[in-house]
Structure 1
Amino acid sequence: MGYNLHITRAEHWLDADGEPIGRQEWNAYASGHPAMQHAGWIEWKDVGREAVYDWPAGYEDRSSLSWRNGEVTVTGVYTDYIPGLVAIAADLEANVVGDDGERYTSDGVVDAT
Structure 2
Amino acid sequence: MGYDLHITRAESWEDSGAEDMLISEEEWRAFADAHIGELDAIAAGFFWFEGRVVVRGARREDADRLVGLAAALGARLVGDEGEVNEPGAFRSWEGAATSRDGSRGRLRRLFGRFGAG
Shorter-chain-normalised TM-score: which range? 0.7 to 0.9
Q: Name the structure 1 match of 2:9.
A: 9
With structure 2 as the length reference, what TM-score do the two structures score? 0.71
State the Cα distance separating 1:11 from its structure 2 match. Answer: 1.1
Aligned to 2:10, the other structure's residue is in SS state coil
Q: In 2, are the aligned partners of 1:55 and 1:65 still within 8 Å (CA)?
A: no
**Partner amino acid, structure 2, of 1:23:** E
Map 1:1-113 onto structure 2 (within 5 A).
Answer: 1-18=1-18, 19-36=21-38, 55-57=40-42, 62-109=43-90
* CA deviation string 1:24-45 (max 9, x = no partner): 0000010111425xxxxxxxxx
Q: Name the structure 1 match of 2:111.
A: none
Moved over 2 A (4+): 54-57
Question: Sequence identity, in percent?
Answer: 38
**Partner amino acid, structure 2, of 1:56:** A
- Counterpart Cα distance in 2 of 1:3 and 1:30: 22
State the Cα distance separating 1:55 from its structure 2 match. Answer: 3.7
Distance 1:71 1:5, change over 3 A: same
Q: Name the structure 2 match of 1:41.
A: none
Count of paired positions: 90
Q: Name the structure 2 match of 1:50.
A: none
Q: Name the structure 1 match of 2:108.
A: none
Structure 2, unmatched stretches of 5+, are 93-117
With structure 1 as the length reference, what TM-score do the two structures score? 0.73
Aligned to 2:23, the other structure's residue is in SS state coil
- Counterpart Cα distance in 2 of 1:89 and 1:100: 17
Instruction: Report the RMSD for the aligned CA atoms in angstroms.
Output: 1.7
State the Cα distance separating 1:106 from its structure 2 match. Answer: 1.2
More helix by share: 2
**Partner amino acid, structure 2, of 1:3:** Y
